[in-house]
Structure 1
């Protein structure tokens, strides 16, 4: 892969801002975050990051990418976006990406749930984490606890663990009034779509999605 190809073109200022906001949130969770950029057709690029909750986050923007799939430093991309010029992605950091990505297609729509309810779950979970957490953060038993059961057509049922709810709110994907996503600041009509395959769970909010492999962490195998 030549360095000339590792360029991201985002001519639309709004799309540059969308990606910059996404990367800023990822870096807030991990100052050394890497972002995996993957081309989707000729005019879309999906940006994937790890959230620290064994759950991936993604935002798709209108852009052009010189390669099909590359992992680079999130800080490098963020700095490049702020120049307003095409972003030189620098050195590839593909070895820093440890897991597989979920499939692009094949997700079944299970149901839509009120965004406010998910934020309420996150608030209660944060209270419990403060009460029972230690120096290493919330206990795994809390993160792995199923906090929501969503049932769709044909009795399709998925369990949503707390770590997925935490990832969704940590990335601030739900629109809200004010500086902080508090349940009372979420419009009652705002929905989050729950989708699933046989092996992956995905929550789609207005500003991005989070995904986790059902029944466990991110698989350490090629996508």
Structure 2
């Protein structure tokens, strides 16, 4: 079994927290792991947000048991979480699973450039709070027999597809960042772009989204 040695117990706790939040949205969630050297990237896709969530984890040393250079595998998020030992700062890589379609659609590793116009984190959090409040008020205004899934989805698409400030970043990406614990009041947030991808990066993780969405007809596979 491949054992990942994380840099410290804080890295292990942060990884466990990220996996727990993903599982809160999808109990059968899968994550794709990519590692080289002492850097591990964990990719997940929480349902309904239509984004990719990326948590970078520092490793104390690359691997055990025969893995020499890189790791690239899709596994069960729940099984990975169960294997995290925060005190020992280790995690055992579970067996591979058949990856969901999004696992073959990842942002590029390089070529990112800064995009201007992103509001400060406090303003981003206020934007999310206002959007959540608007969603609640608009759904409450619907008659009970009109409060269908289709109606709720239409309201959600209208609100969460709006862009933030003067940027092309959709509000749903900021909502995802806050919900997954990436967006905190006093920490820097940066908006980056590479081709069709946008990336909201904070010290705690990144949210990536394609400008035209993540549909199967508009993807780059690697």
TM-score, normalized by length of structure 1?
A: 0.79
**For 1:87, what is the secondary structure of its paired residue?**
strand
Query: How many corresponding residue pairs?
Result: 198
Question: Aligned partners of 1:135 and 1:115: how far apart in 2?
Answer: 34
Alpha-carbon deviations, 1:115-162, whole Å to 9, x = none? Answer: 011101100111122233556455222222223223xxxxxxxx1112
More strand by share: 1
2:138 is the alignment partner of 1:132: yes
Alpha-carbon deviations, 1:97-126, whole Å to 9, x = none? Answer: 534000011110123531011101100111
Unaligned runs of 5+ in 1: 151-158, 176-185
Contact 2:30 2:99 in 1 (8 A): no
Unaligned runs of 5+ in 2: 140-146
Question: Aligned partners of 1:85 and 1:169: how far apart in 2?
Answer: 26
> Which residues in structure 2 correspond to 1:66-215 (within 5 Å)?
66=67, 68-82=71-85, 84=88, 86-98=90-102, 99-111=104-116, 113-133=119-139, 136=149, 139-150=156-167, 159-175=168-184, 186-187=185-186, 190-215=187-212
* Match among 50, 56, 70 for residue 45 of structure 2: 50
1:11–1:196 CA distance, 2 compared to 1 (3 A): closer
Question: Aligned partners of 2:208 and 2:89: how far apart in 1?
Answer: 31
Contact 1:202 1:212 in 2 (8 A): yes
Over aligned residue pairs, what C-alpha RMSD do you find? 2.2
Question: Aligned partners of 1:97 and 1:37: how far apart in 2?
Answer: 15
- Give the CA deviation at 1:11: 5.3
**For 1:146, what is the secondary structure of its paired residue?**
coil
Contact 1:44 1:60 in 2 (8 A): yes
Contact 1:147 1:161 in 2 (8 A): yes
* Match among 16, 20, 35 for residue 20 of structure 1: 16
- Give the CA deviation at 1:172: 1.4
